[in-house]
Chains A and B, each alone.
Chain A
C-alpha cells in the first residue's frame, strides 16, 4: 500500500461552497492549496444538490438596513450588526464575481435587471470546482480526512485521511488548515446532507477549539414521505391535512412546523400545494426543477393531489451552531485552524435562527473567503521549514480506543444509537428538559463506550469517525440546550416557553470526554425587545 504524502501552505477540508471559496481566495493570495473532500468537490454537500437563496443585497442604505433588521427577532437578538454588514459586503462582491468571472447565468427579473439572490446548486458548484482548479488548487476527491495533525506547540499542521477510491491512506502537512466540512444532519437523508456528519467539529474539538450556539441545532425540513427533496419555502403554498382529510389547523411551513411535528407523532400528515395559482406553479418549476423530480417520478400532481409528508432533521446544517470563530478572519482558538461555512457558527449574522439558504449561503461565501485569505497569510508567516515540522495526530474516538477494540462494524450500532436520540421529533424538535436529560444520559453512555471500543479498518475508519462525530455533536447540542433555560431563536423549550432577558448571551461549549459550557456576552448587543 502506498501513501500519498503532500506538503502545502493551506489545506482546505470540505468541498462545498465555503471550502471552494476558501481554496480560491487562499490560492489567489499566493498559497499552495490542497482541497480534500469526503465526496466530490462540485456535487458534495447541502448546496450542490439543492437550490439556495443568497443574502445578496445591493449596497443601498435602506435595503441593507431592512436586510439586517429582518431576522433579528427570529434569531433572538443574538446576531451582530457589524458582522452582518461585513457579510453583506463580502457576499455582494462574491456573487458579482460569480456573474462576471465565473459567468454564472443569473436570470433577469421582470424589470430587466439581473436577479442575483438565488443559485442553482449543481450549476453553482460545478463552476466553483472549475474556478478552484483554474486557480491551481490540488483537489483530492473521495478523500475524507480522518484527523488533524498538530505540532509540538498545539498549532494545527495538517491532516491525515483515506483515499477511498484508491484504497490508501494519505497525509497532507500544511501551514494552516481551513475546516469547511459543513454542519451535521445525522445521516437523516435530507437532500445532499449525508456527507455532513459534523466531522469538522470533532476535529476542531480534538485540537482544542470551541463551539458556539450548539443549542440552535434542531432544524427540520418538509419533504414528501420517503423522499429526499427538502424545499420548505415552497410549502408556503401548502394546506396541510390530517389523515382523515380535515385541515390540520395551525400547520404551516413557517411558524407552524411544530404543529406538523406533533401531528406526525400520532398520524400521517398530508399536504397539497393548493394555494399556488397557475403563475406561481409555472414559476416554481422554473425556479426549482429538482423540487418536481420527486412528484413527477411518483406520478403526483402536488397542486391538486394530497401527498404524505415527513420532516427530515437538518441539525446544524440549517441550524446556526458550529465551531466558534474568534476573529474577523474566521480564526479559532487554535493557531493555524480556521472555520468556514456551516462548520462554523452562523450566530454572528443570524443569531439563533436561519431558514437555511439565504444567510448560510452568504456566510459560506464570506467566511470561506476570509478563512482562505487568513490561512494563506498564516502559512506565509511561519518560519521556513514549518510545513514539514514534526507533527502528532490529534484524533481519538473511533481511531484509538482506550480499551479493548470492539467489532469492526461497531460504528453501525453507534449511528443507530445517536439517531435514536436526535432524529425523533419528541426529543429534538419538541424539546423539554426531562427529555434532554434522558437523551444526554444515553448519549454520554454511548460516548464512553465508543471512546473505549470503537475501532474500524481501512475505509471504514471514516464511518467510525463519522459515528463519533455525530455523538459528540449531539452531546454539545443537548448540553447547550439544557443550559438555555428559555426559548430563543430555534432553541425552544416546552418547559421554558418564554424568552428570558437574563439569558441574552451566547453559549459556548466544547470538550469530548467531559462536555462543558460557558456564557459569552455579546460584543455589540442587539437591542432586545421586551416581550
Chain B
C-alpha cells in the first residue's frame, strides 16, 4: 500500500492523482497529494512508476502499516535504494533503457519449451 508521499520531493504535478486507478489521492491545499483513500490502494505501484521525482513509496503489503515507521522514513528508503526503484527497474525516466528491450524471460521448465519464453506468462 502507498505509505509515503514526500513533501520534500513532490513538485505538485498531480500525476499520481491522475493515474491512480483506484483514486486514492486528493490534491492537498499546498499541492502535495493527500492519501485520502489509502484503504482503496491496490498495491499496483502505478503511482510510483509515474512519479517523475521519485517522491512516492508503495510498501509491498496490501494492508496499512501504521506502526512501521520504516515505510515512511524517506532517508532510510533512499539509502536502501528503494525510492524510485520501480521506475529504475522498468527503465522509465530520462536516459534510461526501457526494460522491455531486455525482457527475455527464463526458459520455463515446461515440457516441450523450445524457444526462450516470452517476458512473462500469467
Contacts and interface: CB of A to CB of B under 8 A. Distances in A.
- Say whether A associates with B: yes
Nearest to A280: B106
A120 B45 CA distance: 14
B100 interface: yes
Contacts of B59: 297
Interface string B68-108: 00000000000000100110011010000011111111111
Given A119-B100, A123-B98, A355 B122 contact: yes
A289 B86 contact: yes
B29 interface: no
Contacts of A293: 45, 60, 85-86, 89
Contacts of B117: 53, 118, 233, 287
B23 interface: yes
Given A49-B46, A107-B104, A228-B62, A287 B120 contact: yes
A231 B120 contact: yes
A233 B121 contact: yes
**Contact-size category for B:** 35 or more
3 pairs of A and B residues whose beta carbons are closest in the complex: A118-B118, A39-B21, A118-B119
B108 A165 contact: no
B40 to A, nearest CB: 8
B20 interface: yes
A226 B45 contact: no
A123 B90 contact: yes
A439 B103 CA distance: 43
Nearest to A276: B106
A120 B60 contact: no
A38 B21 CA distance: 8
A194 interface: yes
A170 B98 CA distance: 38
Contacts of B22: 39, 194-195
Interface residues of A, number: 75
A142 interface: yes
Interface stretch (A19-27, A40-48, A382-390): A40-48
Given A105-B98, A226-B63, A53 B118 contact: yes
Interface stretch (A185-193, A365-373, A494-502): A185-193
A226 B62 contact: yes
17 contacts: A40-B21, A50-B120, A51-B120, A53-B117, A53-B122, A107-B101, A109-B115, A120-B103, A192-B21, A193-B42, A227-B60, A228-B44, A233-B122, A281-B106, A283-B116, A287-B103, A358-B122
A192 B42 CA distance: 7
A287 B105 CA distance: 5
A356 B118 CA distance: 14
A256 to B, nearest CB: 13
B119 A195 contact: no
A254 B22 CA distance: 31
Contact of B100 (A107, A231, A233): A107
| Chief secondary structure at chain B's binding surface | loop
A45 B19 CA distance: 12
Interface in B16-67: 17-23, 40, 42-46, 49-50, 59-63
A75 to B, nearest CB: 15
A454 B82 CA distance: 43
B46 A43 contact: yes
Contact of A236 (B49, B63, B109): B109
Given A195-B21, A275-B109, A283-B105, A53 B121 contact: yes
A289 B108 contact: no
B118 A115 contact: yes
Interface of B: 17-23, 40, 42-46, 49-50, 59-63, 82, 85-86, 89-90, 92, 98-110, 115-122
A232 interface: yes
A225 B4 CA distance: 22
A334 B20 CA distance: 33
B82 A296 contact: yes
Nearest to A277: B106
A107 B103 contact: yes
A298 interface: yes
B120 A233 contact: yes
Interface string A200-236: 0000000000000000000001001011111111001
A228 B42 contact: yes
B90 A122 contact: yes
A49 B19 CA distance: 12
Contacts of A438: none
A356 B122 contact: yes
Interface in A164-192: 164-165, 189, 191-192
Contacts of A221: 122
A228 B45 CA distance: 10
Given A120-B99, A236-B109, A286-B105, 20 more contacts: A43-B19, A48-B21, A105-B98, A107-B103, A109-B116, A110-B104, A120-B100, A122-B92, A195-B21, A228-B44, A233-B120, A236-B110, A279-B106, A280-B106, A283-B116, A289-B86, A289-B99, A290-B90, A297-B60, A358-B122
B104 A283 contact: yes
Contacts of A191: 42-44
B121 A358 contact: yes
Nearest to B110: A236
A106 interface: yes
A246 B18 CA distance: 47
B99 A286 contact: yes
Contacts of A118: 103, 105, 117-121
Contacts of A105: 98, 100-101
Contacts of A230: 122
A40 B19 contact: yes
Most B CB atoms within 10 A — which of A48, A123, A275?
A123
